Chains A and B, each alone.
Chain A
Amino acid sequence: MAGTGRILLEAQDICVNYGAIAALSGFSLKLMEGEIVAVIGANGAGKSTFMNALMGMVKLAGGTILLDSYPLTGRTWKAVQGGLSLVPEGRRVFAPLTVEENLRIGAFTRKDAGDIQEDYDWVFSLFPRLKERLTQYAGTLSGGEQQMLAIARALMARPRVLLLDEPSLGLAPIVIRDIFKELRRINEQGVSILLVEQNAKQALLLSHRAYVLQTGRLLKEGNSRELLQDPDIRAAYLGQGA
């Protein structure tokens, strides 16, 4: 599913400071409805900070975040209610709860009294492995399964934008490919996706457009396919000398 041309989420001139250190200085990004957008960059470029800023987990020193052209207030639960759902770095599943309980928590704060069963069916069709593990404690799952659970849990909130912070972190390449394949399917079913990744190649292959972030500033943006061919990007992020 490609973008429909309507701006869903827009970040304008985002600045975030940690004490005296500027983590983000004036980063802007647009996400169209139906699009997959990736933010790539090295360690410490400000990728996770940007995600946390979108969710209201860190304070903005400047800039605005618009969802459907309405400003977000900087409160995390309001961002979730507005339809943003972040799969955090390191997954953060509730280890002492079962897979099913983790999924139920994902739907806990939903205001619509929709049919949860439908959402179960949806996430199980995406990640059949979770259905097999339904009564198992989340802490006993493998890393890849925990990542699937974290994504499924975020989907239980029926988000309009799924945000992912380093979904490939600590996973085997084959598991990463599986998960990215499911992300595409999720997108095809109408969920816009914004992900930040160090694994630039996978992120560029999946996304429609991408932004390259370097020490808190935009380095480059554009069509992902073009970025994949860009000699600078290839040299710096894809490990292929120019």
Chain B
Amino acid sequence: MKKSLFINAGIIALSLGLALCPLGGYQEGIVILLCINCVAAMGVSILTGFTGIFTLGHAAYMALGAYTTAILTVRYGVHWFPALLAGGLIAILVAWLIGVPTLRLTGDYYAIASIGLGEAIRLILENWQSFTRGARGFPGIDPYTTRGSSVAVFAVLTILMFNLLDSRLGRELRASRDDGVAASLLGFNTPRSRMKALLLSAFYCGIAGGLLGGYMCFIQPSMFDMMKSTELTAVVVFGGLGSMTGTLLGSAAITLIMEYFRDISQYRMLIYGLLLVAIMVFRPEGLLGNREIWDFLPRFAKGRRS
């Protein structure tokens, strides 16, 4: 069986499983949360894990997606699906405006800049009271994020992501991550590749934010603060930089563990911290390192490494 076919079939099977298995209301909520977190993590992963651009501000793109979707559906009565897409597109637009001047930065410098940008966007949302209701939050969002809709969005975006990674673009990104100078000398347009990675990641985070709004029915700027941004990047590092299946696994693991300890919620951050320390000590390259899950199967073991 061809690898891409195997991957696509696997994603569809997983999604059908998530969508159709009989679950109670509480478990359904967890499935929805899983899908949302995975979509956001994939967005950060393509930028951080596959292009080598560390970001600590991607919650801002989730906020943009969430607010765009919420305002369009509540105030203007737009159907949730086009509103969700609009949220993703606004995130892309803002990422482009931000990326033109900042993507010249590399390494730690971009990470620092991204903190500032993320906080700036959050503060704008918090202070633009007439439009976003500011810190009071934005209530009354339709619960359009059901198990069906979130799993469907997750499935489509995951298939898109894995096929992109196996495409020309995916190879361009990895080349500019591994050695940006060598990649440009071989004729890769590395600035454009980096921009594409940023736009894609903003889109994924925007969509995730839009879904989150429809799940919580209420959003407020403090949901998208630096803690959230750090968590997004931490999940990607946890799963393994340069491994998309690792990102999905890491995101699922963190979501489930956090959910499991909901009863002792005041200690949750403690457990989260312990978990990150443990993975850094015992497996510093992350759960899967830079390999995909099928690289561990003997059948594909001779395939490409990331």
Binding site for B on A (CB under 8 A): 55, 57, 75-77, 80-81, 85-86, 88, 92-94, 96-97, 101, 105-106, 108-110, 153-154, 157
Residues of A within 8 A of B189 (CB): 75, 77
Docked-complex contact A80 and B178, CB < 8 angstroms: no
Q: Which of B55-63, B150-158, B179-187 contacts A (4 or more CB under 8 A)?
A: B179-187
Residues of A within 8 A of B185 (CB): 55, 57, 76, 80, 85-86, 88, 92, 154
Smallest CB-CB A-B distances: 5 pairs? A109-B187, A80-B187, A92-B182, A76-B184, A77-B189
Residues of A within 8 A of B304 (CB): 101
Q: Of A85, A92, A94, A109, which contacts B188 at CB under 8 A?
A: A109
Docked-complex contact B187 and A77, CB < 8 angstroms: yes
Residues of A within 8 A of B184 (CB): 55, 57, 76-77
Residues of B within 8 A of A110 (CB): 187
Chain A, residue nearest B179 (CB): A92
A177 shortest CB reach to chain B, Å: 26
Contact with A along B177-207 (1 / 0, CB 8 A): 0110110111111100000000000000000
Residues of A within 8 A of B190 (CB): 76-77
Docked-complex contact A108 and B171, CB < 8 angstroms: yes
A159 shortest CB reach to chain B, Å: 10
- Per the CB 8 Å criterion, the residue count for chain B at the interface is 15
Given A77-B187, A157-B186, A157-B187, A105 contacting B181 (CB threshold 8 A)? no
B154 shortest CB reach to chain A, Å: 30
- Listed by A's residue number, 9 A-B pairs whose Cβ atoms lie within 8 Å are A55-B184, A76-B187, A85-B185, A88-B185, A92-B182, A105-B171, A109-B187, A110-B187, A157-B187
Residues of B within 8 A of A55 (CB): 184-185
A99 shortest CB reach to chain B, Å: 14
The reply on B175 being an interface residue by CB < 8 A is: yes
Docked-complex contact A96 and B187, CB < 8 angstroms: no
Identify whether the interface residues of A are mostly helix, strand, loop, or mixed. loop
Docked-complex contact B182 and A108, CB < 8 angstroms: no
Docked-complex contact B179 and A108, CB < 8 angstroms: no
The reply on B2 being an interface residue by CB < 8 A is: no
Residues of B within 8 A of A96 (CB): 178, 305
Residues of A within 8 A of B305 (CB): 96
Residues of A within 8 A of B187 (CB): 76-77, 80-81, 108-110, 157
Residues of B within 8 A of A77 (CB): 184, 187-190
Docked-complex contact A88 and B188, CB < 8 angstroms: no
Residues of B within 8 A of A97 (CB): 178
Docked-complex contact A109 and B181, CB < 8 angstroms: no
Chain B, residue nearest A150 (CB): B182
- Docked pose: A198 CA to B165 CA in angstroms: 42
Residues of A within 8 A of B175 (CB): 94, 105, 108
- Docked pose: A200 CA to B117 CA in angstroms: 50
Docked-complex contact B171 and A92, CB < 8 angstroms: no
- Docked pose: A86 CA to B183 CA in angstroms: 11
- Docked pose: A154 CA to B181 CA in angstroms: 13
Chain A, residue nearest B168 (CB): A108
B15 shortest CB reach to chain A, Å: 32
- Docked pose: A194 CA to B272 CA in angstroms: 56
Given A106-B186, A108-B187, A94 contacting B171 (CB threshold 8 A)? no
Residues of B within 8 A of A75 (CB): 189
- CB contacts under 8 Å to A, within B147-174, are 171
Residues of B within 8 A of A86 (CB): 185
A71 shortest CB reach to chain B, Å: 19
B52 shortest CB reach to chain A, Å: 13
- Docked pose: A106 CA to B179 CA in angstroms: 13
Docked-complex contact B178 and A88, CB < 8 angstroms: no
Residues of B within 8 A of A106 (CB): 186
B176 shortest CB reach to chain A, Å: 11
Docked-complex contact B181 and A94, CB < 8 angstroms: no
B293 shortest CB reach to chain A, Å: 18
B241 shortest CB reach to chain A, Å: 13
Residues of B within 8 A of A85 (CB): 185-186
Chain A, residue nearest B172 (CB): A108
- Docked pose: A93 CA to B183 CA in angstroms: 10
Chain B, residue nearest A95 (CB): B178
